[in-house]
Chains A and B, each alone.
Chain A
Amino acid sequence: MASIEMKNIVKQYGDGYPAVNDVSLDIADGEFMILVGPSGCGKSTLLRMIVGLEDITSGDMVIGGSRVNDKAPRDRNLSMVFQNYALYPHMTVFENIAFPLRLAKMDDDEVRRRVTEASDVLELKDHLDRKPANLSGGQRQRVAMGRAIVRQAEAFLFDEPLSNLDAKLRGQMRTEISRLQRRLGITTVYVTHDQTEAMTLGDRVCVLRKGKIQQVASPRELYEQPVNLFVAGFIGSPPMNFLPATVEGNRLVTPFGPIELDEARAAKVAGHELLLVGIRPEYFEDASLVDEAKRPVGSVFTARVDVTEWLGDSQYAYIPYEAPESITTQLRELSRELDSEELRTQAIVSIDSTSRIREGREAEFWLDTRKIHVFDPHSGENLTRDAEAGAALTRMATEDRLEHLEAARGGQDGASGGKSGERGGATAVGAA
């Protein structure tokens, strides 16, 4: 187990295109770090540089205190789960998992013991004699994980390990990975483009865009205090709504009526002409269903609902709005960069599932203005970000993690002690 430090890592391809540009990132011992971003942001390249499958153009890669830039993958003692699992089709599941141990010239008894242990953890016991071709997608995935956990690696690296599974299995394996990492307490770097995985798995999440780090923070901080338009748009599903706004004193004038700002925020946005207001879907509510007590902290507006989607536990309404040409193009560009295609400017609002708001009619909405963010449309910078509050959220996450880790390592020692005792017993029986 080791920490991973990256200092000014650059990856330039033959044509001079920097796939990863000046990335500096510290991953603590035992931490679960997520690298996330749209396709082509360099996240996989960065992971492959950690494991050594990709050369580093410049910068330092330090794993467990020693610089590994010039070390071959096999000398770095990391284990990796590939997107397509890369199982060896000519070997049985047992031999697949045992492969790293065989290469390390471990004796047969030890290999059998370790593979059995790993297959117990992953519930692969019944499949050890089968070939990968005869396994289901989820089982193959578990075999790939078995191969990773079977030896004492410094860190686990995952390259979009769940993207080939169907939605239901993906959810199960996600919790499985999380449980495993907590239990083993091993430094983990996990690449994904799926923000649900990023939010649920990571202690910290590193958002990348075009080879550059945008923000490294706990999922909560990313959600509540995004550093710019890109992060705000990327994190959250449905995504954050961006409304064009102009400043008038302490108010922002938006297509959904004026929004009052407190003194501190008003000071931050002063002097800008055109702004983008970022509002998460759940900050909206059907005005008729809002508590009288809550009403004053928000503003109320009427708008025509285009489409509603009722999902049982929640309900979404789509409200189209008009925006200046420059904003429309910018939002379209942003959504293209985020791998989606936004065809029209519309707000997605989350309303209570009991709401009787109907499609094609005017309806009254309430908007919680306390947590909205205001962005500069040119630089994309979040003008109202509260860095202190954000840092506090990440600090809390770090404390949680350390607590988990402590428990895991303490528990592990106890458990392995118990297990070895059990084994001793089993051997004795076998010998008798």
Chain B
Amino acid sequence: MSRKEKIWWWIGGVGIVVYCLFPIGWIVALSFKSAGDLNSGSFLPNGAVLDNYTLILTGNASDLFLPALVNSFGICLIATAISCLLAMFCAYAIARLDFPGKKLVLSTALVVAIFPVISIVTPLFNVWRQIGLYDTWPGLIIPYLSLTLPISIWTMSAFFREIPWEMEQAAQVDGATTWQAFRKVIVPLAAPGVFTTAIIAFFIAWNDFVYGISLTSTENARPVPAALGLFSGASQFEDPTGAIAAAAVIVTIPVVVLVLLFQRRIVAGLTNGAVKG
């Protein structure tokens, strides 16, 4: 790369980073502003205060926010775990076995993934009320599976396809049953794929708003995105902007931490050296 090209790459890169991070910076800045400072028009707060954070963590809004945080974590983790487990078996079958209807499974998964959520929320609301799943954890976990499973199946089957089939055959020749070969050879090799999938699935569930607001009514199961929408100001003439910004920052933290924690795992190709090289 010539010097000139390099400079242009840098300029382009910085531009994209600024473009992507600007809203996040804005939210962070907003979350540190005091109520009177919100409409000051300056990007940075005039003297950072923790008012908004104390409000949502210990103050008035904490009744709304903290249970929602617990709900979000619980529901998303369970949904992720179930979807990873199911997707692992499903993807293995798709990648390895030849069975009729393989294409059907994959395309059904795709159709489910692109199906607009809003169109099934109303019927689901009625069904859930009838059978008593409304405003419960399972009542959200099940619809979340419909969001996370398709993408999990797709990504994981891509990962499984990458694992040389010889690995498994070698294990079988060495005396392993199909299940042993799967558990001792395939699963450890697929671990990076499973992690990646788990993180993606977690984000999808974590970011959901429509199901969260429609299928819950109390703090029994209400997740954070829905709770954010229900924040209210000190009076009806005051917007809860600062509180919402603070909550948004807190909600973003686990996502960032997850990515930073597992980015090496995600990127590292564990299959290096498995075959000739």
**A contact set with B: CB distance below 8 Å:** 51-53, 72-74, 77-80, 82-90, 99-100, 103-104, 131-135, 137, 140, 147, 151, 164
Contacts and interface: CB of A to CB of B under 8 A. Distances in A.
Given A90-B188, A134-B273, A99 B174 contact: yes
Contacts of A80: 170, 173
Contact of A74 (B175, B272, B273): B175
Q: Chain A CB within 10 Å — which of B170, B171, B270, B276 has the most?
A: B170
B217 interface: no
Contacts of A151: 175
Given A79-B173, A90-B191, A131-B273, 8 more contacts: A73-B169, A82-B166, A88-B274, A89-B189, A133-B272, A134-B273, A137-B276, A147-B170
B25 interface: no
Given A131-B273, A134-B273, A137-B276, A86 B166 contact: yes
B172 interface: yes
Contacts of A52: 172-173
B158 interface: no
B272 A82 contact: no
Contact of A164 (B172, B173, B189, B276): B276
Contacts of B272: 89, 133
> Interface size for chain B: under 10, 10 to 19, 20 to 34, or 35 or more residues?
20 to 34
Q: Which 6 A-B pairs have the closest CB atoms?
A: A133-B273, A86-B166, A84-B275, A86-B170, A100-B174, A164-B276
A86 B273 contact: no
A230 to B, nearest CB: 30
B189 A73 contact: no
A133 B176 CA distance: 23
A140 B270 CA distance: 16
Contacts of A83: 166
Nearest to A137: B276
Contact of A103 (B169, B175, B270, B277): B175
Contacts of A132: 273-274
9 contacts: A51-B173, A84-B166, A86-B275, A88-B167, A89-B273, A100-B175, A103-B176, A132-B273, A133-B272
B178 to A, nearest CB: 9
B164 A86 contact: yes
Contacts of B167: 86, 88
A279 B125 CA distance: 86
A297 to B, nearest CB: 49
